[in-house]
Chains A and B, each alone.
Chain A
């Protein structure tokens, strides 16, 4: 990976952490506990499809820790980011072309996969991330119903913001 191919990922890391911490988390505080939008997992989703799993997991941890540092909620976003990075391959597997992702499909985006496949894959990826995040956040089976309700609400809202983000920036690499 050369420096020109790293730059979009670095910019996405900084931009998504800033938007998550300075805008979306503040909106949860002012609008209500059910208004949760987690956009930073897009950084993990848009990492190269051929990236080795250990690097992917460490980058998932890094983006989660960066968001945790602002909340602060040490370990909760980091744990969810780590899980999403590990499970990304599993979530996107049903949407891979026959024979698997080729090297030219550098990232999982509408530009390479088409809108329908992208939204289906992202929906599953985000659902897994949100479920893990709220399970860690509540940390008790006593809140199982609350975890499911918040995951469902956050999933719907997050997918709207994901569509807006991708329509605005249309990432290609």
Chain B
């Protein structure tokens, strides 16, 4: 003990330097956006491979649960695929219900009128956090798998987040449990009235839906789905259900403040789909024109 104390006193400058520099480093990556993003990206790249190896070992012992989860994912995708094959298209001023298989790419005369809007790639969550005010995930798919920033990340039962940074083999996903995450969500039983879904911190299973006008009579347990207006998330994907009785939004009394219990438990999310809106660049360029006109 005496020798340890002597060592500390003799090297006091170096120990103090190390401790204070670590404090400075923590301040820098937590309170400066640029340094924080670079740090998150760097740890994502270097830590990703190690985490994936550890995850592989862990997965071996959870094969039963994983098989069950994958079966659920397949069911969900099959249902969505069969829905996608039934597309309404306008032909000669009249709407017809036609059957079209977007995967087979048959040379049909209708091919030009049917445009699949979304495509997806499956991925596995290899790092997750839910305890902070701003939470992130890392998935084992990156730019070499076609993942780009601003793609939506979904699970079979709910929403997970938005891709923010991409390396060749991994991606950093801003969780829905992040205070900057805003997702357009709708109430299908209220004529698809839509609002903005955010997380106010605290309970990781509950988010808040705002900007639903007061004249809608929203009941507990009503389903909440994605509206599709964010252009990242496909419309109609399940999000959760209304939790408790809606109340008046204290900041904006013309609207309701609705608590939403998420279907996807963010503490156990594992298998996800990264969804790309094939027309996002086109719609983004139109939105830029709106901004240009307003200036």
Q: In the complex, which range does the number of interface residues on chain A fall in? A: 20 to 34
Determine if B16 and A74 form an interchain contact, defined as CB atoms under 8 angstroms apart. Answer: no
The residue on B at minimum CB distance from A57 is B16
Determine if A74 and B17 form an interchain contact, defined as CB atoms under 8 angstroms apart. Answer: no
Determine if A61 and B32 form an interchain contact, defined as CB atoms under 8 angstroms apart. Answer: no
Determine if B12 and A78 form an interchain contact, defined as CB atoms under 8 angstroms apart. Answer: no
Determine if B13 and A53 form an interchain contact, defined as CB atoms under 8 angstroms apart. Answer: yes
Alpha-carbon distance A76/B23, docked complex (angstroms): 11
Alpha-carbon distance A61/B24, docked complex (angstroms): 8
Q: In the complex, which range does the number of interface residues on chain B fall in? A: 20 to 34
Determine if A139 and B35 form an interchain contact, defined as CB atoms under 8 angstroms apart. Answer: yes
- A74-114 residues with Cβ-Cβ distance < 8 A to B are 74-76, 78-79, 82-83, 85-86
Answer yes or no: B286 CB below 8 A from chain A CBs: no
A72 smallest CB distance to B (angstroms): 8
Determine if B13 and A75 form an interchain contact, defined as CB atoms under 8 angstroms apart. Answer: no
Answer yes or no: A3 CB below 8 A from chain B CBs: no
Determine if B20 and A75 form an interchain contact, defined as CB atoms under 8 angstroms apart. Answer: no
Given contacts A52-B12, A139-B34, contact A75 B24 (CB under 8 A): yes
Q: Which residues of B contact A7 (CB under 8 A)?
A: none
A86 smallest CB distance to B (angstroms): 4
Alpha-carbon distance A52/B39, docked complex (angstroms): 33
Answer yes or no: A73 CB below 8 A from chain B CBs: yes
The binding surface of chain B is classed by DSSP as: helix
- Choose one: B14, B20, B26; the contact of A61 (CB below 8 Å): B20
The residue on A at minimum CB distance from B13 is A53
Answer yes or no: B27 CB below 8 A from chain A CBs: yes
Q: Mark B26-41, 1 if CB is under 8 A from A, else 0.
A: 1111111011001100
- B5-58 residues with Cβ-Cβ distance < 8 A to A are 12-17, 20-21, 23-32, 34-35, 38-39
Q: Which residues of A contact B31 (CB under 8 A)?
A: 72, 74-75
Answer yes or no: A116 CB below 8 A from chain B CBs: no
A51 smallest CB distance to B (angstroms): 11
Given contacts A52-B12, A86-B13, contact A57 B28 (CB under 8 A): no
- B141-159 residues with Cβ-Cβ distance < 8 A to A are none
Determine if A75 and B25 form an interchain contact, defined as CB atoms under 8 angstroms apart. Answer: yes
Alpha-carbon distance A56/B26, docked complex (angstroms): 21
Determine if A75 and B38 form an interchain contact, defined as CB atoms under 8 angstroms apart. Answer: no
Alpha-carbon distance A75/B31, docked complex (angstroms): 8
Q: Which residues of B contact A159 (CB under 8 A)?
A: none
Answer yes or no: A4 CB below 8 A from chain B CBs: no
Alpha-carbon distance A52/B13, docked complex (angstroms): 8
- Choose one: A52, A54, A78; the contact of B27 (CB below 8 Å): A78
The residue on B at minimum CB distance from A61 is B20
B28 smallest CB distance to A (angstroms): 3
Alpha-carbon distance A6/B192, docked complex (angstroms): 70
B45 smallest CB distance to A (angstroms): 12
Alpha-carbon distance A78/B17, docked complex (angstroms): 12
Answer yes or no: A58 CB below 8 A from chain B CBs: yes
Q: Which residues of A contact B35 (CB under 8 A)?
A: 75-76, 136, 139
Determine if A140 and B38 form an interchain contact, defined as CB atoms under 8 angstroms apart. Answer: yes
Determine if B28 and A58 form an interchain contact, defined as CB atoms under 8 angstroms apart. Answer: no
Determine if A78 and B24 form an interchain contact, defined as CB atoms under 8 angstroms apart. Answer: yes
Alpha-carbon distance A38/B34, docked complex (angstroms): 21
Q: Which residues of B contact A76 (CB under 8 A)?
A: 24, 28, 32, 35
- A32-76 residues with Cβ-Cβ distance < 8 A to B are 52-54, 56-58, 61, 64, 68, 72-76
Q: Which residues of A contact B14 (CB under 8 A)?
A: 53, 86
Q: Which residues of B contact A75 (CB under 8 A)?
A: 23-29, 31-32, 35
Given contacts A73-B32, A75-B31, A76-B32, contact A58 B20 (CB under 8 A): yes
Q: Which residues of A contact B27 (CB under 8 A)?
A: 68, 74-75, 78
Determine if A82 and B28 form an interchain contact, defined as CB atoms under 8 angstroms apart. Answer: no
Alpha-carbon distance A61/B16, docked complex (angstroms): 11
The residue on B at minimum CB distance from A83 is B21
Instruction: List residues of chain A with CB under 8 Å of any chain B CB.
Output: 52-54, 56-58, 61, 64, 68, 72-76, 78-79, 82-83, 85-86, 136, 139-140
| Complex A-B: 12 CB contacts under 8 Å | A52-B12, A57-B20, A68-B27, A72-B31, A73-B32, A74-B28, A75-B24, A75-B26, A79-B28, A82-B20, A139-B38, A140-B38
